[in-house]
Amino acid sequence: MNVISYGGGVQSTALLVLAARREIDYPTFLFANVGDDSEHPSTLAYVREVALPYATRAGLDLQQLERRRRDGSTETLMQRLNRPGIRSIPIPIRMANGAPGRRSCTADFKIKVVGRWLREQGATAHTPATVGIGISLDEIHRANRRRSEVHERIEYPLLDLQLRRSDCERIIEDAGLPVPPKSACFFCPFRTVDAWRRQRRDEPELFTAAIRLEETINKRRAALGRDAAYLTRYGRPLAEVIPARGAEEEAEDTGDGECDSGWCMT
């Protein structure tokens, strides 16, 4: 069983095109949707309006998966973050020194969701599934084969083909598809400052929702006697760090803090 962990971004969409051209042998693509209230709307639109029709025409199976509880109900990442009584924050919220806290969002809403589907299809430690991850050559530092679960074997087709992100964009364009935006939750603390600035300018409703989430998290932390934490690494509320249009911005984007799992932002 060969599958691609599909994130809806540039690298995994290039893998979709390569599979459609039968240049790689991955007939199944699994999009673990962390929630329509959590994934960036542009990523959801791309998956449903561009990637899914393209996969169908090419005879590929692109499935959208959701996190399911034991009782069969579904749970989104935003629902988890707003659940009353939650003590552990699943996203890499930034501590006072700017360092990201421990996170479980990727494991709980991506890796385990895909893993559950694989096991339901028959993957075991003795007959593991092959899971392709969309990490390109210019992001080789994100590749780590030791992170595979017992029922899966991780591969990096783009690394095997020596392809960079720019190559992936060209592959997508050559297929007549629009290049997708970078995939991630709209409130991810690994977003760059430039991305936050664009969100406040172009998507004010999402920016407001991110502010509300940060406030909710800090109300919970205060009730537990914990220090405040933030969605950026600057130790101040999001609305202060990313000012309204026309205001001077002191924070510079150094580009650190990138998610290294390969399951998100591809």
Percent pLDDT > 90 in the chain is 70
Each residue of 153-195: pLDDT tens digit? Answer: 999 999 999 999 999 999 999 999 999 998 889 999 999 999 9
pLDDT in the model for residue 142: 79
Let me know if domain 2-75+103-174 sits in CATH 2.60.40.
Answer: no
**Domain range summary for the chain, segments of one domain joined by +:** 2-75+103-174
Say which amino acid occupies 103: R
Q: Confidence class of residue 95 from pLDDT cuts 50, 70 and 90? A: confident
Counting Cα atoms < 13 Å in the Cβ hemisphere of 142 gives 22
Q: What pLDDT, on a 0 to 100 scale, did the predictor assign at position 100? A: 84
What's the pLDDT at 130? 95
Residue 265 has pLDDT above 70, yes or no: no
**pLDDT score recorded for residue 250:** 47
pLDDT value of position 258: 54
User: What are the tokens at 90?
Assistant: 């699943």
Q: Note the pLDDT tens digit of each residue in 25-60.
A: 999 999 999 999 999 999 999 999 999 999 999 999
Q: Are 145 and 16 in contact (CB under 8 A)?
A: no
Q: Each residue of 54-84: pLDDT tens digit?
A: 999 999 999 999 999 888 899 999 999 998 8
Q: Which residues contact 66 (CB under 8 A, 6 or more apart)?
A: 32, 33, 35, 74, 76, 113
* 152, 48, 266, 149 alpha-carbon torsion, rounded to 10°: -10
pLDDT tops 60 at residue 248: no
pTM: 0.88
Confidence of residue 264 (pLDDT cuts 50, 70, 90): low
The two three-digit tokens of residue 163, written as one number? 């392809």
* Residue 254, pLDDT score: 47
What are the respective helix, strand and coil percentages of the chain, to the nearest 5? 40, 10, 50
Contact yes or no for 145/154 (Cβ under 8 A): yes
Predicted pLDDT of residue 107: 87
Facing residues of 185 across strands? 39
Q: Which of 155, 188, 172, 175 is nearest to 265 (CA)?
A: 188
Whole-number average pLDDT of the chain: 89
Task: Specify the 3-state DSSP secondary structure of 39.
Answer: strand
Q: Around Cβ 171, how many Cβ atoms within 10 Å?
A: 24
From CA 101, how far away is CA 92, in angstroms rounded?
A: 5
Q: Which tokens in the block code for residue 262?
A: 């390969």
Average pLDDT over residues 187-213: 94
The mean pLDDT value for 235-241 works out to 92
DSSP for 225-250, written as a single string: T----BSSTTSS-HHHHSPPTTS---
* The token pair that represents 184 in the structure block: 């991630």
Residue 113 confidence (pLDDT) above 90: yes
Nearest 5 degrees, angle CA 67-CA 98-CA 181?
50
CA distance 92 to 18: 33
Higher pLDDT, 263 or 39: 39
Report the pLDDT value the prediction gives residue 183, as an integer from 0 to 100: 87
Q: Please give the average per-residue pLDDT across 105-132, as a whole number.
A: 92
How many other CB atoms are found less than 10 A from the CB of residue 27?
16
3-class DSSP state of 73: coil
179 alpha-carbon distance from chain centroid: 17
Residue 251 pLDDT > 50? no
3-state DSSP assignment of residue 63 = strand
pLDDT exceeds 90 at position 10: yes
